Amino acid sequence: MAESKGSYEDGIQNIDINALLSNGLEGLKRNVSEDHSKIIYALQAVDGNEDGELKNRVIEASKKTKDAHIALIPYKKGSEHWAGIFIKFKPQMQIETMEIIDSAEKSNTDINSLQTEIDDIFNDVYIRWTTAGKHSDPVKSAEVTVESLLQTAAKALGISEQYMGIMGSHEQPNNNDESTSASLKDDCKSSVSSASINRSSKHHLLKQISDNEIEPTISQVKSSLSPLTCENNELPSESRKCCRRVIENINNFKYEEIQIDLETLRTSKEAGQGQRYFEQAKRVFNISLYSLLEATKTQTIMLGSKLEFDAIKALVDNLKRMENAKRYMSEYTDKLDIIDSCAQEVKGLIERRMKHYLSSVRGVSNLGNFYDADERLKHIQAVKDLLGIYCTECISQEIDTLCDDQEKILYNVVVKRYIEKDISEYTLNPPKDIFARLEKVKETDERYVKALGDLNIGIMSKFRKELDDAIKKKPPNPDNIHIRRFEAAIKHLPDDLQTGLEIEFKHCKEQITKDIQQNDKELESICNSKDIKHMKELIQKYREVDGMQSYADKVQEYVRQQTK
């Protein structure tokens, strides 16, 4: 390892950190498989004072290979201390993880400035920030930076135990609160994953949300907050507690408590760390808020046509969270207008779904599917109640109107339609179907009992009229058009109506037979009397009755024969 020389500035200027990293990487590669050794690259150190140098180095790292790989880059801002940049690339030159590892007691790394630079070339990457120790010595800073980079690379490859000791023994950071720090790290370990998922939510988060997943932001908030706020051994105890609370509260959408903790961090005077963590926590909050908005919007788009209660409840919960975020966190976000527009968009999408559902209620109601219509109406009313203030006035009025119109639809559309139909149309629209549907729901509402009674009376009257017309039809004929219409239609009635009408049908045919016999007897009697005057009167009588012309012709022929 290089030795420190002269002043602090002289020391850092005389350290060849590139050689230090290169030598360390060679040691690491000797302890890993050949495949692993081929995917780790050490790049030249970046001077943060040189405009665009960081961006160029990251682009250079991304182009090393199109396969997944790891890049290690030393970084310094000014002439104070070294930091390390660890980048894990996915295939096709996409960044999965980017981490800044600080190694000095008084860090001047501007994480927000670095984030802005990276946003220009990879806008879906979120930079993690950690510290590796407390060192004011430039040599120690360089050594710890290189060792931390190599250990992070080894951990990323799953070989951290094999790597221990490769760099040699260095003085470890002085930690007066190791147990607390370890506990804090343990709290966060389970939630550490790729922080880039939060930034990528701007464009790709929605693809990761399943049809039944309405709260996807929890794990994502954990993954972004953990490395930002939990891996710093330098934090004073009060700030550390704040960090824990911020993590927990963002995960549980407790925005009122987040506001208190953020203000505590913002006003903290503890070695400037409070302000640093305030900025980073605020950034994570805004990312989690954006994820919440996008996830809510997507879940609304994916809302099924059945308007499931669980999905509606989850949407309402998220809308309430958005309101709370606006209420308590307005000072810490620039997304107030986005919250409002998202809420309006979500309510508009829900309104369209509900309108479509109401159309289906009208449709089944008009078709006489009363049970289905009632069940759907009950469901949409329950959805309206669940939505509460998030149900638009337009939909509320439409639901109330549809409830009021159900009785009108029942009588003016369904019952009236069957009563006014010609019985010849019952072949295609059997009354037995509508009777069955009304029987099914008659116990649920008195109006269905009344509708059944009205329908029964109306249809019975139509068939009785047909029988009456059959009797009046002249000349009497047991197979006239009315008889045939009656016989064709009666089989489409419910069994109890058929039974009653068949008795009346039998009486009708008996009456027609009697009328035929009566006409024949009258004709025979007049003819046998040979009373020409009475015969002429009978002929006139038959001619005045539609359909009796054949009888008139018979009498006239008989008179002609008698007068020859």
Fold classification of 1-165 is Adenoviral Proteinase; Chain (3.40.395)
Give residue-wise pLDDT tens across range 124-152: 777 887 777 666 676 778 888 898 899 88
Number of C-beta neighbours around residue 180 at 10 A: 15
Give residue-wise pLDDT tens across range 355-365: 999 998 888 88
Q: CA separation (Å) from 327 to 166, 251, 323, 324, 330?
A: 53, 18, 6, 5, 6
Contacts 24+ apart (CB under 8 A), 551-559: 551/475, 551/519, 551/523, 554/523, 555/523, 555/526, 555/527, 558/527, 559/532, 559/535
Distance of alpha carbon 276 from alpha carbon 116, whole angstroms: 16
Three-class DSSP category at 275: helix
CA atoms lying within 13 Å on the CB side of residue 333: 23
- The residue-averaged pLDDT of 163-173 equals 41
Give residue-wise pLDDT tens across range 71-80: 999 998 666 6
- The residue-averaged pLDDT of 236-265 equals 81
Which pLDDT does position 229 carry in this prediction?
Answer: 39
Cβ contact 225:198 at 8 Å: no
Which pLDDT does position 272 carry in this prediction?
Answer: 61
At residue 85 the predicted structure's pLDDT band, cuts being 50, 70 and 90, is very high
Which of the two residues, 87 and 94, has the higher pLDDT score?
Answer: 87
Which pLDDT does position 223 carry in this prediction?
Answer: 42
At residue 199 the predicted structure's pLDDT band, cuts being 50, 70 and 90, is very low
Q: CA separation (Å) from 75 to 86, 103, 114, 167?
A: 10, 11, 11, 19
Nearest Cα neighbor of 355 from 391, 404, 325, 321 is 391
Which positions ≥6 away from 460 have C-beta within 8 Å? 497, 500, 501
- The residue-averaged pLDDT of 413-435 equals 88
Three-class DSSP category at 182: helix
What is the model's pTM? 0.47
Residue 97 parent element (H or E): strand 94-102
Give residue-wise pLDDT tens across range 387-402: 999 998 999 999 988 8
Contacts 24+ apart (CB under 8 A), 494-497: 494/431, 494/432, 494/435, 494/436, 497/431, 497/435, 497/456, 497/459, 497/460
Burial of 109 (0-12, 13-18, 19+ CB in 10 A): buried
Sequence ranges of the domains in the chain: 1-165, 184-306, 342-420, 423-518, 530-562
Give residue-wise pLDDT tens across range 484-527: 999 999 999 999 999 999 999 999 999 999 988 887 787 777 66
Average pLDDT, the chain: 77
Number of C-beta neighbours around residue 440 at 10 A: 15
